[in-house]
């Protein structure tokens, strides 16, 4: 059975106080989330320590187990003189230092990182290897731009992002990868892929993964991201190869985030 996941990508939003309030509001509503759905909050680096503690403070152990903590990036170097960077090892150390929930996930390959910060497939592969070596799980994002879709190149673009990066991993490493398909034209635009468009490319991603990893591709959770909200989550999540969502804007309001998670 593939893990169903609803992951929030807070991006560069919320002050520390607002972030703590947000996670507390999510925690208050977490009993509404179906048993088989895992929530992940991917917060700014500055919030990880406090959010880790806030998750650990959720009283009911079952509710606590439904929510995991993640980061939005890590360095492509292990350590050293890289001013401003945060390593995978640092992320992995947060839980024990805070006596709280561990950082379990890191988002890598987001189109905003690829586009604004020049992160190539080669850089992303380094980041992924470091994250995995520290015991983190990776939410690896792929997706095409509008011009690429219009030119009918979306399958090629996504296949390249998968093959250049994930095909360099072992089957064992692949167990700790979640893939997120995020068409760039749907991110933050209010425009969502139709359920047919999304299902088509999710099935394509799964069959591409199967070329290298065989049956294991059936176990990989593939999330949809791009203007996913409570009003459209149900029809997207009802598709065979869509195992949840990576949520940007709508993850910043507990009510919407939980509303999406209860759409299954
Ligand atoms: P959005 O962002 O839900 O605001 O479109 C999704 C993402 O970029 O992860």
- Is a pLDDT exceeding 90 seen at residue 171? yes
Distances (CA, A) of 24 to 5, 19, 117, 149: 19, 9, 32, 39
Distance 246 CA to ligand 1 centre (A): 7
- Spacing, Cα 28 to ligand 1 middle (Å): 24
Q: Is the entire prediction scored with pTM above 0.95?
A: yes
Averaged confidence pLDDT in the chain:
97
| CA distance linking residue 190 with residue 150, whole number of Å | 18
Q: Compute CA 9 distance to the chain's CA centroid, rounded to the nearest angstrom.
A: 7
Q: Clarify whether 154 is annotated catalytic.
A: no
CA quadruple 88, 90, 91, 93: dihedral positive or negative? Answer: positive
Helix (H, G, I), strand (E, B) or coil at 34: coil
- pLDDT tens digits along 116-146: 999 999 999 999 999 999 999 999 999 999 9
pLDDT value at residue 164:
98
| Residue 191 confidence class, pLDDT cut points 50, 70, 90 | confident
pLDDT for position 264:
79
Of 112, 119, 182, 202, the catalytic one is: 182
Would you say the CB of residue 180 lies under 6 angstroms from ligand 1?
Answer: no
Pairing type for strands 177-181 and 222-225 reads: parallel
Q: Which residue has the higher pLDDT, 1 or 165?
A: 165
Strands (E), 77-201: 103-108, 137-142, 177-181
Q: Which residue's C-alpha comes closest to atom 1 of ligand 1?
A: 248
Whose Cα sits closest to atom 9 in ligand 1? 248
Q: Is residue 182 among the annotated active site residues? A: yes
25: its two tokens: 């509001």
Q: Is the pLDDT of residue 97 over 90?
A: no
């Amino acid at each position: 059975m593939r893990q169903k996941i609803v992951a929030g990508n807070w991006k560069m939003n919320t002050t520390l106080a607002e972030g703590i309030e947000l996670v507390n509001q999510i925690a208050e509503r977490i009993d509404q989330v179906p048993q088989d759905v895992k929530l992940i909050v991917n917060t700014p680096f500055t919030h990880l320590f406090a959010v880790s503690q806030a998750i650990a403070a959720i009283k009911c152990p079952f509710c606590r187990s439904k929510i995991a903590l993640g980061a939005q990036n890590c360095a492509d170097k292990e350590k050293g003189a890289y001013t401003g960077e945060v390593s995978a090892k640092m992320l992995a150390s947060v839980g024990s230092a805070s006596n709280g929930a561990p950082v379990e996930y890191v988002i890598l390959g987001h189109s905003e990182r690829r586009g604004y910060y020049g992160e190539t497939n080669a850089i992303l592969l380094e980041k992924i290897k470091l994250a995995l070596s520290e015991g983190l799980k990776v939410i690896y994002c792929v997706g095409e731009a509008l011009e690429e879709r219009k030119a009918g190149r979306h399958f090629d673009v996504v296949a390249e992002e998968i093959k250049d990066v994930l095909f360099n991993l072992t089957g064992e490493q692949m167990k700790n990868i979640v893939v997120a398909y995020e068409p760039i034209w749907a991110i933050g635009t209010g425009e969502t892929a139709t359920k047919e468009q999304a299902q088509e490319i999710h099935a394509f991603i799964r069959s591409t993964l199967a070329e290298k990893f065989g049956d294991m591709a059936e176990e990989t959770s593939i999330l949809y991201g791009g203007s996913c909200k409570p009003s459209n989550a149900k029809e997207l999540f009802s598709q065979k190869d869509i195992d949840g969502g990576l949520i940007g804007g709508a993850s910043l309001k507990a009510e919407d985030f939980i509303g999406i998670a209860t759409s299954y």
